[in-house]
Structure 1
Amino acid sequence: MFSGERLRAIRLVNEMTQENLGKLVGVGKVTISKWESETTVPNAKHLRALEETFLVAKGYFESDFELLSIYHKLTSAHQGKVMRYSRRLLEEQEQSVQFVAYQVRTNILLSAGPGETFEDEFETETVYFDKEMDHDVATWIKGNSMEPMFQSGEVALIKETGFDYDGGIYAIVWFGHTYIKRVYREEEGFRLVSINPDHPDKFAFYEDQPKIVGKVVGHFMPLAV
């Protein structure tokens, strides 16, 4: 890959302006500027002209030129050592886990038997997982009403979408408490269904002003780091 940084560096070392270099290789100073910022790259003809202008080896303006130049100067035995070490570093890099931080609201507990208050003001704590998932609110799950899909102690990720479709899993505020349930919209209100059959359905009448906070779009058990 062409390196605009290497072009700019050698031009400055030679105390040459973009305009002067452009005249030597047959382009305008705007083109030189674009090459240096890597907005565009020189074609084969102009690349050869740059190499001849600065009396450098073919490939000098490639971003990995220095690395390859050193490698090719090594003996075969030392090249082998470099390759083995590089492979080991690559394996370690691929096996390493990249942790993603989540800010979890600590004063909201979803799936708790009678529900928990969904506050406007809240405190958070940081937990980690190995996958990034889009969400608006992260909060703790407590209780077993949504087992086996959701486990107590997991983090629920909520997207503040409002109601979308029947049977989706939503966070809903009702009588000042928050639940995570399968929600079905009926003529007089929302039917709240637990996944665990040991927990009976609940019914939130519209006149009681239940509010769908959003859809649960993900959940995870935090990782120890």
Structure 2
Amino acid sequence: MSVTVTYSTTFGDYESFGWEDDQGIYEEATVGGTFEEQNGFLPAFNDIFSIADHSANPGAFAGTEDPDPIVDLGIWDAFGTFSGTQYAASAEYAGVDLGFIVEAADGSYLNYTFFASPTHTIYGEIGSITFGVGLQQDSNGLYYFDEELVTIDGLDTIGLNGGVDGNGDVIDRTTGLNDTHNIVNGLKDGDASALWAVLDAAGYYEAYEGAALTEVLGVSETTETELELAA
């Protein structure tokens, strides 16, 4: 498995919003503690990401739609686009318009079942998640940020189920077992605990704290400066 976390050079410029440059995406205040006991970007996200009215600001899909979704939306497809290679949302916190972009893994798509069974469930293999400020769309309709803050890549390498069970059926959101729904819907609701849980289970924190464990776990941390030097 290989998860790479890339920070922008301005990542640490937002300390007033709850995270510090040297804490990364999370830094355990208590080893083995719960998400509520963490410091860093993801816990701060929980504090400042909020959408007052999801019907007015539901987020949106972008990119190529899935030509062969597992769940056929039927007539519900007439009500909008519920599939793509991206899903993005931006919150309404005063002082920083923090948002996120979820990218599907190569060859995969992100889908929402709407009223088709299982209802209101997100599925599809996640490749990366980028957090930033100033959510925009390019001429092709794809989302990007005026200022990226942090990107978590390689989420498709750590054994997430993509919201699909062993029979190839979409896992109902109500079971609590759909990794994709738990992560994406959680972020939309201002709750990064599901994302933290899968990273923690994959050993990301240990790799962040001790470089000696990076090679063993196959998890790496990269800064933008290091990437520029390696180019």
TM-score by length of 1: 0.21
Quick one: higher RCO (CA 8 Å, sep 6+), 1 or 2? 2
TM-score by length of 2: 0.21
